[in-house]
Every structure is written in structure tokens, then in C-alpha cells.
A and B are shown apart, each in its own frame.
Chain A
Amino acid sequence: MRWRKVFETNEYGKIDRIIWYDQESVIISGQGRRARSLRYADGLEVWQLAATTTNTNSNQDTVAKHCQVIKNRYDPGTIHILSDDLLWSVSSYGEMLWSIEIPIKSTLKNLFLLSTSQYVIVGSLDSNSNQLQVTYYSKQDGQQAFSSSLPWSFNAKDSLNKCSTMNNLILCSNNEELSIITIPTTTDDTNVKTRHIKASSKIEQIRILYESTTRSVILIKSDNGETKIYQFNKKESTSEWDFNELNIQMKSNSFISIATDKNLAGQQILEASANDQKLNFHVSTINEQTLTNTRSYSVELPENMGEIEYLAYSVVKNTQLVTLRMQDGSLLVIKLADNGAELILHRDEALSSIISVETFDLSLSITQMRIEEEFGGTGMFSMFTKRISSQVSQLISFFLRLLDLFTHGNRNRDYLDKQAALVRDEFNLNKILIVVTSVGKVFGILTQSGGILWKNFFPNFAPFEHFNAVHVPLFHIRSAAHYTHEPLASIVYRDRNSLHDTHIRTFNPYTGDLENNLTTSSLPYHVKRVFLSTQAVDEFCKVLLFVDTNNKIHTYPSVPLSRALSTTIPTYIYLFDKSEQAFVGYYLSIDENDQKTSTNLKEVWRVSFQNEEVINIHTRLSSDRVHSAGIVLGDRSVLYKYTNPNLIAVVTEGIDYQKVPFVNIYLLDTVTGSVKLSHTHKRVKSPVHIVLSENWIVYTYYNQRYRRYEAVSSSLFEGEAQYNYSTFSSFDPIEPVIQSKAYILPYGVNAIQVTTTEKGITSRDIIMATPNGMLIEIPWILFDPRRPLDLTPMDREEGLIMYTPEIMVNFESVINYYKYVYNIRGIHTVATGLESTSIVFAYGLDLFFTRVFPSRIFDQLKDDFDFMIIGWSTVAFVVGSFVAKRFASIHQTKKAWK
């Protein structure tokens, strides 16, 4: 890749159209509000222009902001942009030619933009009189020349969906009819001509394949799968067009693209269709009314990529190149040559749209398994025999390996290395990341290399909505701990076409192979929420529990609820009711002998929010471990933490009676429905990023009043005494003591997360992704709400740092060094077998993976540890002591002889 420029994530960075020139390209973004030109050579900007005014009121009309960008066919250096009520022209040299405003009303919408050699023509729909006003503006200075109107039968929304513009034609589909409206191009000719093409059934789509000043090709697709291609030729010295149908046989799912080249006589037309794992191409030359020289190509794809979503065919220096975007987000470039088609580029662009991440431990190696088996027996004798037999087998395998090394040498080294990559290492540092992308492609990624192990594409995939984001539940059905059984993971998603249907796919995370027994596409109920059972049922597998729209709970696969959930610990479930903005808590009563596989939920509490909207919730990581129940203070007394595992953080947004926007943060106990913490922040802007762990919460927001990013940290404590030493219950009458502090952040925040370690002994670090591309590791001690304003010796004894409002970020704490990552949406942290080490995986537009050591590497040797010096000095000491002993004895005997 030569260069890459990342635009804004908001509306302003959304690209409307790119116009390609020889040396640079003009990119129109922000719904026709900005034009910038970038050089191909180095990606640097040549010029940038933007509209000089904008509307204050966000458009709440049904027709969203609409923008049309056209390159003037008669003057290719001029670009006309129509953005809602603004019409402006720029030249490819970066000169703003003119800019005018065309007033719009709710009944008057600017819809079409056409251009001729003298005029820029805007078609605006007046829905009061059902007339299309066609206004002519001078191409030179934007002065309105004249206007006319013609009757129009579509409403504004339909007009946008069903109509296209081409040269001076407006093409509109009306059920089985295509209307071709010719807009006159000169002032002396004012009559609008309309002609019709009949199709056999309802027209679904009109696409313009090729457009030039004298010739155009369009495609009409009907809903019965019939596709027709029409060729338009301009009549000499008039503004009218002749058209004729091209005789081409097409499959219903095929795509068409047309390329021209100076060397080619006429245009080449490419028809492409995807068929399972195969792409078929037919290239022909358009010759008057028929196609000649048809050549067929086909290329085998490495995996199933679904249908074609976008196709572009181009001839560059006599090389025929086809660029495709597939349904699974893959970018393909295929070269067509005389000896057949060849796939020259394949990129999985889906990886930039990850929405769910889970990690799986790798499988145990055979020797590790044997060790597991060795300690598996019961009874003295069986354990003894197991031990002996396993040790004998270890010895045998060792000799076999030696023999293999001598006979084969390093020949099958590659194979062994590849095998070793899939086997758990000594400290369980390497894992498999399972990522689900929003297009429905699931990847298995090895962490040590970043290599993609397997991919699976689910074509009818649609994610669930989760507050203001999308979400796909991904579960460990069976973990890698049961080495005798393969591990299993499940994803739950909705059907793309009928959103009430829920699909469950279960697969082996090492290979991606689907487990068909646990895969279904039809659940007889509408799913509201899904979660995993607390207990394994058959063969160490957990089951999925679904709450349907009638608040009934089901299991999949069907097993009695008493087996899936613990009968000794009561089960509470909370749901969110979006229409009432309320959290509702339910109690699930399970009888031990009950064999029911589904039951109704009983409501026990309800927390509703008035005048504020819940925008997000945040739960703690399931792997969160609390090692110590309290903090030892400077005077040797203990401050006990309030570690309630049932807490969730709720973020709400609203506007108070003084019209001041506010954001509220609550900590809600999901068992009792009691609110343990509530903070109000006025003049604060979301997004609010939250980390909830142990007994503390850290969240960040943007303070509009002081125009800075801030973080608030709160800790909950039980106090000097602990209510119950052994277990925690939400029903215990504990009022947590809350301590809070706010801090100023030096950068904005895209995502935050806390490091996770196996036992939770290691201190915590906060990993923060910033918009400027850094991943920063900040010790939680800097966010500690107990940082004192003036430091007493007792605080120093405890190791507290004095409070400073700003959190200083050192470049040494940037964990991605020179590899900046942009538009990070989430960070995933996992524990490893080493207590000091936590794995960090940041995903978004870019992916980044590393290991962090929040308390330094206290359980490892440094990687530059000099084994040779230690080894040799030990040997030297042993030898030296022997020699010294000898000398000493000689000395002794000599002394004795004296």
C-alpha cells in the first residue's frame, strides 16, 4: 500500500463521489459540502474547497439530505455539486467557480442535476402542484437563465429511488414502464419529450453503465429477474436520443460493467456472475446492436464470498482488470488475460467492521494431555500404573523424536512448526481470536502471527441492535479446558430478510467447522435477549438461554431449566424496555425436580427513567477477578472493597428544564434494582466510555463548558468492617461508601478498557485508544479516587500519589509505538497463564494486538537475560571450590608435616 488517508468518522468524512483525473482525484464528501483533491503520487492534498454556509436545523424531513455530483461531460474539468439547497461548481484546478443557493421548502425539493455545454440544469419537485420545475443556470457564472415546468407524477422519495439522470435525460421507472424524459438543452427549444419503454414485469432497478456526450448504455432489471440493456445514441445536432436494445442473454444475478479505451474500437462489456465459489465473466465488444467477440473466463475463489455487490471493469494499458466488492466485504482484483483469469488481489476488508471478539485458548499438546491424564486417576494403584505408563510413553516418544530427527533431519520442520502454532504454549500466551464482523463473516485469527486461520461467511446475517450500537452474541459453549472434546463457540444473529428469525451457528474455534447438531435457523419464538447457562449440561457443553418477547425463557438445545441453571443460587434476569425507558428485573424460580424446558419470568423490580434516555449500558468483563477484599491503609487498618458482581453501569442523556444538556451515570444492582451510585454531569457530551471492574468505575466524556475531555473515577467501599467474609449477596444491607475524583485527559477517547490477568493480583492499567491513533496504557493508580489533595506520611506509606487534575501521558506509555491505529471502536483484553501478562486486542478500522505488563515482568526473566554468564559463573564457582579445596588440603598436609 502506497498511502492511506483516513477521513472523519462523522458525516463530514463520508465520501459522496470520487472523480478521477490523470494526476489526482477530486473527492466530494460530507454530502456535497466539501471537495478536496488528492495526488495519486503521495496522497498529499492539492486543494480543498468547502461550502461557505450550512443549515442550522438538522433536516427532519423524510427525504434526508440529498446530494448529486456530476462531472460536466462537455467540459471534464468542471464539477457541479448539488447539495440540498446549494449548487456550486468547482474546477479541477481547485477554483471555486460559483456557488448559489436555491431556496427549498418542505414542498419544494431539488432532486436532479443535469449539465450541458452551456447550462447546469436543476430539476426541483414542487409537490403542491405536482410539477417538476426545470431551472437553467449558466455554466459560467451560475446566473439563472430561464426555467420551465413539466407535470410530474412521483413524490419526492419515489423520484429519488426510481429515477436516474443521464446527460439531458431523466429516466424514471413506473411499474412496468420506463419513462425517458428529454430535457431540452437550448433556450430556443422548449418542448419536453417523453417516451416509454415497456418491460415484461415491474422494474426494480435502472443502472447507467456508460455515459458520454454521444452515447450511453443503461441496464433495466425487472423483478422477475429479466435484465435488458439499452443503448442510447444522440441524434445529430439535436438534443434527442435514439435507443435500441442490445441483444444479450443475462443471468438474473449477474452484474454488468462497461469499459472504454482509446485503443479499443467501441466499448467492451463485461458480465460477471458469482456462483458458489466461482466467478464467471463474459467479455464482449458492443457492435451497433449486437455483441461480438464474446470471451468467457472463470476464476475459482478461495472461499465463499456471497454475491457481487459492486463491479468495475477497466482496461489499463491493454490489461483488462476487474475490481469487485463481494457481499462478505472482500475486495477482489482479477486480471483477464488470454490464458485465463487470475486473481491478483484479495483483501478481507470485512476485518475493519468487527463487532464481537472472543478469545479461545489453544489446545493442549499431546504431552500436556498425557500429563493431564497422569493425574486423572483415582485410587492408589490406578494412579501408580497411570504414572508409570505415561512416563514410559513419554520416554518412547522422546526416542522416536530423536530417531525422526536423525533420519529426516529438518525436512518436515515447516509442518511441525505449523502444528506447533496451534498448540498451547507453556504460558498460554498465544490464543485464537474469534471475530464476528458486521457483514456476517467470522474469522479465526492466531494471535502470535495475526494470520487468519479460517473464515466462515454467513450470507443472511444481520446483527442485533443493542442500544445505539450493533451487537452479535458470541459464546463459549465448551471451553478448551476439556481436552477430550473439541471446544465450541456459538454466535446468534438475526436473518437479514426477516428480522424476527434468529439463527444459531455453533462451530469449532480451531477450524471453523460447523457443528450441525447445535446449528439451527428456526426458533419458534422471537428473541429478546440471549445468555449462556451457568452450568454445563451434556458433554461439558453449556446451553443458550433465550428470553422471548412474551418474557418466557427457553433453552437451546432443549434441556430442563433445572439442569442449565443452578438451583441453589437464585437466578435474576434484567431486561430493558425501550418504549418505557425502564429496566425490569425478573426472578426465575426453578424447582430441582422440574423438567420444564421453558418457564415464565416473574417481575420483581422496575427502574424507569423519566426525561432522560438510556443511551448505553456497560457490564463488567466476565473474566474480572478480585484478588484482595480490601486495601491496607497507612495505619495498618483495612478498608474493605464493595465488590458487587451484579452491578451494571447505565448512561442516560437528556435536557433539563433550563435547556442544559446533561449526562447521568448510574450503577444499578441487577438483582435488587437498587441504584448504588448516580452522577450528573451538566453541559457534557456523550459518547461516554466506561470501565467497570473490581469495586471501581472509570468513565470519560467531553465537557462542553470547558471544552476538554474528562475522566471520572469512583470507588465503592464497604468501610472498615466487612459484612460477610465468605460470600457476597446483593440483599445484604450494605450502603457502599463512594469516593470520586475527576481528571482532565490530554486527548480524546475512542475506546477504553482495563487489563485482565488470571488471578487479579497484578495492578490494573487502563488502555485508552485516542482519535490521534495512539493506544495509551495508564496505570489505574493515576485514576485512583483516593489520591489526596495534600499528601500525609500515612498516604505515602500506602503508596498514594498526590492529586493533580491533569493526567500526564508519557510517550513511553504508548503501546503501539510508531504504528498508529485509527478509528478504534473497541478493545478486548484477556488474561494469560502468566499473572504479569495481559493480552490487548484493539479493533476498529485498524487492528492491533500486543501484550502488556501492568506491574512489570515480575514473574519472568528479561528477554536479554544472560543465561551464559549465569551458567558459566556457576561452573566456574564449582570448579573453583574444588581447586580451592585441593589447595587447602595440600596446605594442611604441608602444615602438618612442619
Chain B
Amino acid sequence: MNILILWCLFYSILTGITTSSSSSPPSSSNKIPLYTIEGQVVFPLGENVLDNIRILVDEGLYIGIPRVDGTFVVSGIPSGSYIVSVNSPFHIFEPARVDINTKGKIRARAVNFIEPGKVVTMKYPLRFESHTKPNYFQKREEYNLIDILSNPTFFPIILAVISIPLILIFLKQQQAMQNMQDAPEIQDTVQRLNNFIQPNYNNNFPDIIDWLITHVGGARRIRSPPEETTDSDSKQKRKKFKRAKNQTD
């Protein structure tokens, strides 16, 4: 309440000043009186935001610098309509339109570019409060399991993962049945199903591992003399020999 009274007092003093400045009539007709726009930037305590704040009247036609308490004065302005914006890289403030009539009466209203005639009055002296901070950065996309799973290309894989155990169970049952009955039609269907689940592409597309074994491993075993092969190769070979031996044993 006290603050309100104080503001009113301040306001009355202010209007007093502005009227007094306008009431001193210019001596000649080509004189136009100049007025002052006043306001305050309200900021949370402890935050040092004033350093970077500029008050732009009509995009830099006049520039104000705030005082320690956040109040500012932009003086020497002839009557007209101006957009007052408080500008800082760290905070967002809503701009205000200030109309000064030829008698020096000042009113403030909301900025509306689409309907410039619309009047939504605001308090004067101006009061700028920042509620939001500008977000200059887009959030970096991170790997998210749900994102990957929700990807449509991932759907068949999920389907496969779910269906394979089911099919395996089904196959087991089939095998059991096969053992019991040894029915040829069922064997046939199982074979077909097997082909369907694990199609044998080997006829058309040679398995890369097969290909490697036959061309790299297999061929060298026969053709190339042992001193030309590298260490890793010979190791692998030795392993293979061992395994072969184990198997034959």
C-alpha cells in the first residue's frame, strides 16, 4: 500500500514536472517542446543484469542507460508515438508503446503491430519485468531407447524378437511330434517353415564368412607357404588345426 502511495506521489510529481516543462511556452512558433520518458527495469535481487541493459526508444533513435536502482530516463523527446524496449542478451522484456501528445501528456500501451490502433493501456511510468530468459540453443538430440524403439524401421526387428522364441517353442513341439509320429507331411511342413524363417540365401548370396573361409583361409592353407603369412594368420591357422584335431578326436 505504501509503495502504491509512493508511486502515486512520484507520478504526480512527475506529471507536475512534465506539465511545467510544457507550460513554459516557447517564444517563437518554430519551437517544439521536448519531453522525458521514464520507467524502471525490475529485476530480482542479487542479479547483476543492469550492465548489459539498454533502453531503446524506436529501435535506437534514443538510447537510455539505467541507473543503479533500475530506473531510467530518456529525455529530449518531442511529442509522438514511440516503442520503448528494454534490451538485454540475458533477459526478455516486453516492449511498450509510449504516446506523448502535443501537450506533453504521456500514456503507455501494449505494442500491437498487427492492429496499431488498438489501445490496451499500461501503467506509466513504465515498469519492465522479465519473466523469461531467452533460449538461444536447441536441445541436443540424445540417444533414447524409446526413440529407437518407436522408429518404424525398428518394428520388424521387434516383431522378429517376439516371434522367434514362439516359433522355436513351436518347432520343439513339432520335433517332439515328429519323433512320436514321424509323419512325412509334418516333416515337410516343418522343413518349409524352417525355410521360411531361415531362408537359405546361400544359393544366391554366398555367406560372407563362408566366402572368407574359402577364399582367404582355405586358399592360403593350400597355396601360400607358411613364412609369407603374418603372425595372426598363422595363429589362427594353428587354432583351427587344433580345433580340427579336437573334433577328429
Contact = CB atoms under 8 A, between A and B. Distances in A.
B209 A819 contact: no
A811 B247 contact: no
B26 A773 contact: no
B59 A748 contact: yes
A44 B136 contact: no
A817 B65 CA distance: 22
Interface of A is mostly: loop
Contacts of B75: 34, 48-50
B209 A882 contact: yes
Contacts of B30: 55-57
A818 B247 CA distance: 70
Contacts of B32: 53-56
Interface string B24-45: 1011101111101000000000
B215 to A, nearest CB: 14
A812 B67 contact: no
A819 B26 CA distance: 45
A816 B87 CA distance: 15
Contact of B27 (A47, A101, A748): A101
A806 B68 CA distance: 36
A473 B246 CA distance: 84
A744 interface: yes
Interface in A737-751: 744, 746-748
A708 B59 contact: no
B65 A44 contact: yes
Interface in A1-32: 3, 5-10, 12-13, 30
B117 to A, nearest CB: 9
B147 to A, nearest CB: 15
Interface in A701-729: 706-709
Contacts of B72: 45
Q: Which residue of B36, B83, B209 has the most chain A CB atoms within 10 A of its CB atom?
A: B209
A772 interface: yes
A25 to B, nearest CB: 13
B208 A53 contact: no
A512 interface: no
A36 to B, nearest CB: 7
Contact of A54 (B34, B87, B114): B34
Given A8-B62, A708-B116, A33 B76 contact: yes
B90 A818 contact: yes
B21 A6 contact: no
Contact of A8 (B21, B60, B134, B136): B60
B113 interface: yes
Contacts of A706: 113, 116
Contacts of A53: 26, 31-34
Contacts of A882: 209
Contacts of A45: 64-67, 72-73
Contacts, number: 136
Nearest to B29: A56
B76 A773 contact: no
Contacts of A893: 247
A811 B114 CA distance: 21
Given A772-B59, A882-B209, A52 B34 contact: yes
A44 B66 contact: yes
A350 to B, nearest CB: 23
B81 interface: yes
Nearest to A815: B136
Nearest to B135: A811
B145 interface: no
Contacts of A57: 30
Interface string A52-92: 11111100000000000000000000000000000000000
A43 B68 CA distance: 10
Contacts of A744: 113-114
Q: Which residue of A43, A51, A772 has the most chain B CB atoms within 10 A of its CB atom?
A: A772
B21 A819 contact: no
A881 interface: yes
Contacts of B113: 706, 708, 744, 746, 806
- Chain B's interface size range is 35 or more
A679 interface: no
Contacts of A47: 73
Interface residues of A, number: 59
Given A34-B75, A101-B27, A820-B89, A46 B34 contact: no
B61 A10 contact: yes
Interface stretch (B49-57, B149-157, B187-195, B223-231): B49-57
A12 B28 CA distance: 23
A864 interface: yes
A820 B87 CA distance: 10
Nearest to B81: A707
A819 B89 contact: yes
Interface in A758-805: 770-773, 805
A885 B73 CA distance: 82
A601 interface: no
A51 B76 contact: yes
A834 interface: no
B137 to A, nearest CB: 7
B116 A707 contact: yes
Interface string A807-831: 0000110100111100000000000
Nearest to A772: B87
A288 interface: no
A6 B54 contact: yes
A49 B74 CA distance: 9
B154 to A, nearest CB: 16
B138 interface: yes
B95 to A, nearest CB: 9
B133 to A, nearest CB: 9
Contacts of B28: 103
B116 A814 contact: no
A12 B56 contact: no
A706 B65 CA distance: 27
A3 B61 CA distance: 22
Contact of B62 (A12, A811, A818): A12
Contacts of A3: 51
B54 A772 contact: yes
A42 interface: yes
Given A50-B34, A771-B60, A818 B67 contact: no
Given A747-B59, A806-B114, A51 B34 contact: yes
Contact of A50 (B51, B76, B85): B76
Q: Which residue of A56, A103, A882 has the most chain B CB atoms within 10 A of its CB atom?
A: A56
Contacts of A771: 56, 59-60
Nearest to A813: B136
15 contacts: A12-B62, A43-B65, A46-B67, A48-B65, A51-B76, A53-B33, A54-B34, A56-B31, A747-B59, A773-B54, A812-B136, A817-B137, A818-B136, A881-B208, A882-B209
Interface of B: 21, 24, 26-28, 30-34, 36, 50-52, 54, 56, 59-68, 72-76, 78, 81, 83, 85, 87, 89-90, 92, 113-114, 116, 134-138, 140, 207-210, 213, 247
Given A45-B67, A812-B138, 19 more contacts: A5-B65, A6-B63, A44-B50, A48-B74, A53-B31, A53-B32, A53-B34, A54-B34, A54-B78, A707-B83, A707-B116, A770-B59, A771-B59, A772-B56, A811-B136, A812-B135, A864-B140, A882-B209, A885-B213
In order of increasing CB-CB distance, the 7 nearest A-B pairs are A50-B76, A748-B59, A50-B75, A771-B60, A811-B134, A45-B65, A772-B87
